[in-house]
Structure 1
Amino acid sequence: MRSIHLIALLMLLLPSSGYSQVQSLQQVLQQVRQGSQQEQLAAKQFVHNSQLDLQQLQQQGQQLNQQLQQIQQHNLQLEDQLLVLQQQLKDKQSQLNTEKSSLTHVFQTIAEHEQLLLDSVRPHSLWQHDTSGINLNNEQLDLARIKQLWQALTEQIVLTARVQQHDAMVLDSKGQPHAMQVTEYGPFTAQTEQGWLHYLPAQKQWQIVALQPQLSHLKQGFWLDPSMGQLIQQAGQNRWWQALAPAGLVGVLIALIAIVATIIGVNRLFYLYQEKQRINRQQTQVNANLDNALGRIIAATNTVTDANLAAHLHSAILNELPALQKGIGTLAVLAGIPPLLGLLGTVGGMIETFTVMTQFGSNNSELLSGGIAQALLTTQLGLMTAIPLLLLHCAVKNKSRQLSQQLEQEAAAIVIQQRQNQD
C-alpha cells in the first residue's frame, strides 16, 4: 500500500509528455521495488527478532513459572513450619502459664509463711528491738525482702538468749503510763520494781500484771515463763480474793449484804424452828405455857366470856404475828439490792472501759479487760448473792405462814371446843 501511494504521487508530479519521463517512472518503480524488498527484509528481520524475543519471553515465563512453583512449594513449607511454630508457641504459652501459676503459688506460700512467722514474732516484746529495717507494709516479695526477713528472724533468735534492761513507759492496771526501768529475760518474762509485766503488742508498751504472783526472787537465776507471760498471769489468779479484786467497792458491798442477809435469814429460820417445837409441845399439854405463841393465846382466852371469845382469839393471834413475820420484809429488800449493785458495777465498769478506749483506742483487748472484768464480775456476784437470798426469803416466809396457819387452826379448835362444852 505504501508503494502504490508513492507511485501515484510520482505520476502527479511528473510531466505528461516525453520519453524522459518514462525512464524516470521506471527508475521510480525500480526504486519502489527496491524499497519494498528492503521493507520485506526489515519486516522479516523484525519478525525474526520478535520470534527471538518471544522465545526469550517464553523461556523467561517458564523460568518464572518454575520460580513460582518453587515459591509456592516454599510457601507451603513455610505454612507447615508456621503451623508447627504456632503449636510450639501454644505449648510454650501453656507451659508459661503453668510455670507462672506454680510460681504464683510458690510466692503465695512464701508470703503466707512470712506472715505466719511475723505473726508469731511481732506480738513478743523483742520485736521492738528489731534493727533489720524490714517494711511490714510492703507486700512486694523479692530477694531483698526475703533477706531482710531472714536477718530479722535471726536477730530475734539472738535476742531470746539475752537479759537486757532499758527505760520504757509502763502502764498500770488502769492504763496510766509511768516511766520505769524494765528488765527483759528474752521474750519470756519481764519485770520492774513494782512487779511482773506483760507486753501489749498493739500499743508496743508494757503493762503491770494486775494480779501479781507470789514468786520469790532467785539469787542465782530468774523465773522464765515459756508461755510468754500467760502462766504468770494465771499464777496471780490462784487466790480467790485476787480473782474477786476487780469487783472493787461494789463487790465488798454485795458481800456485806450477803453476810447480813444470811445472818438474818438463818436466825429467823432457827427461831421459827424452835417456835414450831414449842407449839408442838404445847398441843400435848393441858396448861398454857407462856414460852410459845399458842400458850400465850390460850392464856389470853382463859378469862374471857363466851360471847367475846372469838374476838379475843383474833386479837391474840394478831399480837403474835409480828414476831413470826419479823425479818421477812428485810430479807426481801436485801435480796433485791445485790442485782442493783451488780448493775451499778456494770455501769461503772463500762464507763471505765469507754474511758480507756477514748485514751488508748479499742484495738487491744488487754487494756479493756479491767473494766470488762469489773462489769461482768459485779453482775455475776449480784446474781449469785440475790438467788440464794431469794430462796432464803421464801423459806422464812413459808415457815412463818405455816406457823400462822397453825395458830389460826388451833384458835378455831378452841372456839369449837368451847361451843361443844356449852351444848
Structure 2
Amino acid sequence: MKKMLASLTVSLSLVVTVASAQQAANLDQLLTQLEQGKIAQSAQNQAREAEFKAKVNQQQRMLNDINQQRDSALVLSAQLEQQFETNEVSLANKSDALDKRLGELKELFGVLQQVSGDTRSKFQTSVISAEIANRGEFLDQFAQSMGSSAKLASIEEIERLWFELQREMTESGKIKQFNRDVVLANGESKQAVVTRVGGFNLISNGKYLEYIDETGTVAELIRQPSSRYLNTADALIDNIAQGSSEPTAFALDPTGGSILSLLVQAPDSRERIDQGGPIGYIILGIGLIGLLIALERLINLVIVGRKVNRQLKTDVASSDNPLGRVMQVKDKHPNLDTESLELKLSESILRELPKLSSKLTLIKIISVVAPLIGLLGTVTGMINTFQAITLFGTGDPKLMAGGISQALVTTVLGLVVAIPMVFIFAYLNGRSKGIINILQQESTGIIAERSERVEQGQGA
C-alpha cells in the first residue's frame, strides 16, 4: 500500500514538473515555481491537520451519545421483555378465568355462529329474499363478530338472529304479491307484480321466475315448464285477483327452485328427436311412410269389406267388389262343368288377391327394418362416444353425452316405429284374409251348387 502511495506521489510530481516546465522560461523560474508550490502544499496540509484535530472532540462526543442511547435501549428492551412475560402470564390467567365464567355460553356462541352461517346460505337461495332484501348483511357481520374472540354476541344480536329465523318460517307459509323490477327472457327490465308462493316459487304474468342472489335480481326463466304447470300458475293468480278462498292446485317446487331448474333443462320431445341425428330422422320418415300406407290400406279394406258384406245379402252380382266379380264367373259360364268352373273361380280369386294384400308386405318390411336402422344409429353413437373417450378421456361426461344420446334415441325411435307397424300389419292382414276367406267360401258354395245341379240332372 505504501509503495502504491509513493508511486502515486511520484507520478503527481512528474505531472506538476512537466506542467511547470511548459510554463517556465528557464531553470531558475522552474526552481522558484517548485519552491512556491511546496510551501503552498505544506500550508494546505497544516490547515487540514488542524481541522481534523478540531473535529476529534466533536466525534468523541457523538460516540459517547450513541453509546448512551445504546445503553438506554438495552435497558428499555429488558424492561419490555419483562413486561411482555408478565402480560403473557396475566393474559393466560384472564383467558382461563373467562373460559370458566363463560361455561356453557361458549358452546352457545359456537352454535350461534354455525346457525348464522347456515341461515346465510339459506337466504342466498330463498325466494323470500326477493321481497325482503339485504337480510344477509346482518348475518355476515354477526358471523364475523362471533368469529372474533375479542367480542361476544349481545342480547340484541341474538334476538335479531332469532327474529330473522322466525320471519323466514312465517313468510314461508304466506302467499304475497309485491311490485319490483323483473328481467324478462329477452333481457329487458320491467316493473311487474310478483306473486310469491311461500318460500317455494315466484310467478308473474303466469310465468315462473327465479331469484339471483349474486345480483339481487328477479329474472324470468328463459325456458318455462310445460303448459300443465303454467296453467296452475294462471289459476292461482286469478284466484288471488278475485279474492277467492277456495283451494287452488299449484305446481310448487319444495326445494326453492332446484327441481324447477332441472325440469326446464330436461329436453322435450323435439329435442330428444334431434339428439337422434340424421338416422333418427330417417327412421321417422320410414315410419311416416308406413303409417300413410297403412292408412290407405285400412280405408281401402274397410270400403271393400262393406261392399262384400252388401254383396252377401243379394244374389245380383256387382262388379264393384271382389265377391261380385267372382260371382259373375258363374253367370258368364252357366253350362261349364264343375271342374272347369272351379278352375275359373280359382283364377278369379287369384286375380283379386294382389288387390287385397297389396302393400302389406311393405308394412311388414318397415316393421323389421326400423329397429335395424335404430341399431345402426346405436352403433354409430357408440363409435362417436369411444372416439371422444380416446381424445379427451373420461373426465368430462358431457363430451360423451352426444354419442350416448344418439345411441339411445335411435334405438327408441326404431322400436317406436316397429311396434305399431307390427300391430298394424297384423290387423290389416287379418282384414284382408277375412275378405279372401269370404271369396273362397262363396266360391266353394258355387261349385257345390253346380255339382249338386249336375247330379240332379243326371239322376233325372
What range is the shorter-chain TM-score in? 0.3 to 0.5
* TM-score, scaled relative to structure 2: 0.43
* TM-score, scaled relative to structure 1: 0.46
Determine which structure has more spread, i.e. the larger CA radius of gyration. Answer: 1
